Structure 1
Amino acid sequence: MEWTGARYADKPTVEVRTWIDAPPERVWQLVGDIALMPAMSEELQSVQWLDGADGPAVGARFVGHSRHEALGEWSTTSHVIECEPERVLAWAVQDPAEPSALWRFRLRPENGGTELSERMQLGPGRSGLSFAIDRMPDKEQKIVFVRLREFERSIASTLEHIKRQAEA
């Protein structure tokens, strides 16, 4: 049986949504505070704003330190590429022109609360996943599929944490 699925060069994405019984202002307080993110993630261990930044704004940068059982430990610098309070926060990992990943939170008022989505795109720039693919090019689509499923579970968990805190 031949594996069919996305290749890294396809810039595969995963997106998860949830509805939160809280206004966008309250949800934004949580989404915009990157210091909260490590407590919501198995992989992300710590984050710090760089260059004197203390919150999200286009052009602001932060460093994230991550750990994964199969991929080891690494640090990346992310660049905020989109920031509209109470609406959207997006960042490019490593090189904004050729990111190893793009992440985006989107908030939308809905039914007296907020629909919150989180989306991530792999590539097109190289990442730790690229090295795994280099070692096993015949398994590229499976490697990408497995990693996207990991991100999907992680994003769902992050959104659940944000939902619980916003509704508390």
Structure 2
Amino acid sequence: MPTEPSPSSPSTAPTASGEIEIDAPAERVYALVSDPGVLAELAGEYAGHRWLGGATAARPGARFRGRNRNGLRRWSTVATITEAEEGRRFAFDVTFGPIPVSRWQYDLEPSGDGCRVREVTWNRSPRWFRVLTSPFVGVRPDGRDERNQRNIAATLERLKARAER
């Protein structure tokens, strides 16, 4: 399934991605990935959220503070939802203060009795920022993409198990 860049997607290739077939309707899978609380249960480093600015649901423009963890290390970022197309795509941009960090996108496509899900990320952080923050997040400055690739594989497996229950 090709990733179709949206107006807010970068024009460069993703820095990490994964794909999985799930025996559940796209609408059910979308409900899981578009809920930041459920997504925190499925993800590798992302551990929880708090809605910001009065937001209570996943809609374009809604923001949430994401809590992240890697072993004993903890940090938070702000995510802004850029796309929320039920059963098709959920995406958000992540920042640390004014600094762009990443974009995460979930594309869903009906397939047989279920759907195919592709999770994609673009690392948008400047090199100096990765060098500065690497000791705090426990990832080498050049190791973020590799870590994200492993996290995506684990997240998709957990998503499949949860959606097919």
Q: TM-score, normalised by structure 1?
A: 0.77
1:99 partner SS: strand
Q: Distance in 2 between matches of 1:37 and 1:119?
A: 14
Are residue 146 (structure 1) and residue 143 (structure 2) matched? yes
Deviation at 1:126, TM superposition (A): 6.7
Are residue 113 (structure 1) and residue 114 (structure 2) matched? yes
Q: Distance in 1 between matches of 2:80 and 2:127?
A: 16
- Code of the residue aligned with 1:112 in structure 2: it is D
Gaps of at least 5 residues in structure 1 are 1-9, 134-142
Equivalent position of 2:9 in the other structure: none
Equivalent position of 2:61 in the other structure: 59
**Which structure's CA Rg is the greater one?**
1
Deviation at 1:81, TM superposition (A): 1.1
Q: Distance in 2 between matches of 1:153 and 1:65?
A: 19
Gaps of at least 5 residues in structure 2 are 1-11, 135-139
Q: Distance in 2 between matches of 1:149 and 1:126?
A: 15
1:7-58 CA distances to partner (integer Å, 9 max, x unpaired)?
xxx8861110000011111111111111012222342221112122222111
Q: Is residue 30–residue 90 contact of structure 2 (8 Å, CA) maintained in 1?
A: no
Equivalent position of 1:26 in the other structure: 28
Deviation at 1:111, TM superposition (A): 1.8
Equivalent position of 1:161 in the other structure: 158
Number of residue pairs aligned between Structure 1 and Structure 2: 151
1:123-160 CA distances to partner (integer Å, 9 max, x unpaired)?
14578524157xxxxxxxxx455321211111111111
Q: Is residue 100–residue 126 contact of structure 1 (8 Å, CA) maintained in 2?
A: no
1:56 partner SS: coil
Q: Percent same amino acid at aligned positions?
A: 32
RMSD (Å), alpha carbons:
2.9
Q: Distance in 2 between matches of 1:54 and 1:126?
A: 34
